[in-house]
A = this chain, B = another copy of it.
Amino acid sequence: MKSPLDYLQENRERFVRDLSDYVRFPSVSAQGHHKQDVAACAQWIHDHCSGIGLDTRIESTGGNPIVVAKTPYRAKRPSYLVYGHYDVQPAEPFELWTSPPFEPRIDNGALFARGSSDNKGQHLAHLNAVEAYLKTGTELPCNLTFVIEGEEEVGSEHLGEFLKKNRAELKCDTVVISDNGIPSPKHPALTYGLRGIVAFEVIVHGPSRDLHSGIYGGSLENPAMALAQMLAKLRDKNGRIAVPGFYDDVVPLTTYERKQLAKLPIKESEYKKFLGVPALFGERGFTPIEQRSARPTLEINGLTSGYQGEGSKTIIPAWARAKITCRLVPNQKPATVQRFVAKHLKAICPSTVRLEVESGHGGDPYLVSPESSQAQAALRALKSAFGHAPLLMREGGSIPIVTEFKRQLGADTLLLGLALPDDNPHSPNEKFDLTCYDRGGRLGVHLWQELASTS
């Protein structure tokens, strides 16, 4: 009988073609005009799951549908759930892509396309592993359910409801998610912590319409200047967020954690070069690794005001707005942090303009013990799949649904990322390394054996 690992080896090229097909869908959940592409993409992954032998259905929600795919159920075996998302970030600005974002291109051992690493390639690797089990007739030591949703990039609004409604069916021992990164194929890693997030928009309203800056300029507040002055006050010169209460709930890093994080193979000079910045900058007293994974932030994601076209337009804009997200660490709460920021903005807003704060999505931070038996099983599987000793790390990104799985199903999540540091998720020229894609398949093969052995 052929082994699942052999099957993976033999089907490598076809797996790449599958991924190419999958990333052609511009399944951008944040943009209403891609609604049909999102639906078509859900249908594609449904058909794929079905085709490899999974019991598959598309479940409608109040938003984008969720694809559920299950291995044939066998009693008295542990059950695991694999989560992924088929929606992707907006691809703008298009002009910065070397090739069109939804026309996959293979170059230098990587597949370039929006959604390739975040997250289509990563959950497709797990599906490849299950396909290898099923097609080779190898017995799976567990029951597996894939939950692949279409709203991760806009806050997974309907996932919680879905989990609650299907709680009995989805009951599992552990959730597995590959939606994050590792330092390199030689440094596989288990991620034991995630940052949370809270998103909101700040709008400063000035005059009732854009005004001629010559005729009126000087006699009224410019909302763009008012916004700039308010934003400027949100961070001090030491990189600390200058919002009263912001750090109140932050659990300090332990000495052990700081030691572990320091093992990650990242050189500041190379990191700086990789980012393309003249110098690094972050909260004083912390290393860049700590700053970007274990400390909270407040970032401006977008600024909009007045005239943005060619040439100049001499106006005082009617309004100015900033899109903001805060990254949160245990035990900060999204709603509390947003309240602190909004309260502070209100306190520093001049009486010459009107302030509006629009709430966006949020997600709690997450932390699990790397010493649990599941975590240890995952570390063994990582070693087998990659052939290198795995590291422990915390991730700066947010996977808000990790806390939702804990809340609704009571299950902890193993974060087994497959993306590389230069994969450009959320940026132009997103890619997915084909070696990682392959190792991801192998990881799936080893993982279910290792996990089942602990149950």
Does A440 sit within 8 A of B, measured CB to CB? no
CB-defined A-B contacts under 8 Å, sample of 19: A206-B277, A210-B426, A218-B296, A218-B396, A219-B291, A224-B302, A224-B322, A227-B303, A277-B353, A279-B351, A281-B350, A299-B314, A300-B306, A303-B305, A304-B304, A306-B323, A307-B323, A313-B323, A314-B398
Given A212-B397, A278-B353, A302-B306, list of 17 further CB < 8 A pairs? A29-B311, A92-B307, A208-B275, A212-B426, A213-B325, A214-B327, A214-B398, A218-B297, A219-B271, A219-B282, A220-B277, A222-B300, A224-B303, A228-B232, A232-B233, A300-B305, A313-B323
The reply to whether the CB of A105 lies closer than 8 angstroms to some CB of chain B is: no
The CA of A154 and the CA of B283, in the complex, are separated in Å by 43
Specify which chain B residues have a CB less than 8 angstroms from the CB of A398 in the assembled complex: 214, 314
A351: which of B231, B278, B288 is its contact (CB, 8 Å)?
B278
Q: Mark A187-229, 1 if CB is under 8 A from B, else 0.
A: 0000000010101000000111111111111111110110111
Quick check: is A32 within 8 A (CB to CB) of the other chain? yes
Residues of B within 8 A of A214 (CB): 195, 197, 327, 395-398
User: Contact check: which of B209, B218, B222, B276 meets A429 at CB < 8 Å?
Assistant: B209
Residues of B close to A232: CB separation below 8 A:
225, 228-229, 231-233
> A-side interface residues toward B, CB under 8 Å?
29-32, 89-90, 92-93, 96, 154, 181, 195, 197, 199, 206-222, 224-225, 227-229, 231-235, 271, 275-283, 288-289, 291-292, 295-297, 299-317, 320, 322-323, 325, 327, 350-354, 360-361, 395-398, 424-429
A374 CB to closest chain B CB (Å) equals 24
**Docked complex Cα distance between A425 and B308 (Å):** 18
Query: Which 7 A-B pairs rank lowest in CB-CB distance, beginning with the nearest?
Result: A208-B276, A214-B397, A30-B311, A232-B232, A302-B306, A224-B300, A218-B291
Query: Do A427 and B313 touch (CB < 8 A)?
Result: no
Interface centre among A214, A281, A323 (most CB of B within 10 A): A214
Q: In the docked arrangement, what's the CA distance between A276 and B208, Å? A: 5
CA distance A305 to B321 in the complex (A): 11
Contacting pair B217 A299 (CB below 8 A): yes
Among B211, B213, B302, point to the contact of A307 (Cβ < 8 A): B302
A90 to chain B, nearest CB (A): 6
Q: Is the CB of B309 within 8 A of A217?
A: no
Residue from the list B30, B181, B225, B276 in contact with A215, Cβ < 8 A: B181
Q: Select which of B300, B302, B323 is within 8 A of A225 by beta carbon.
A: B300
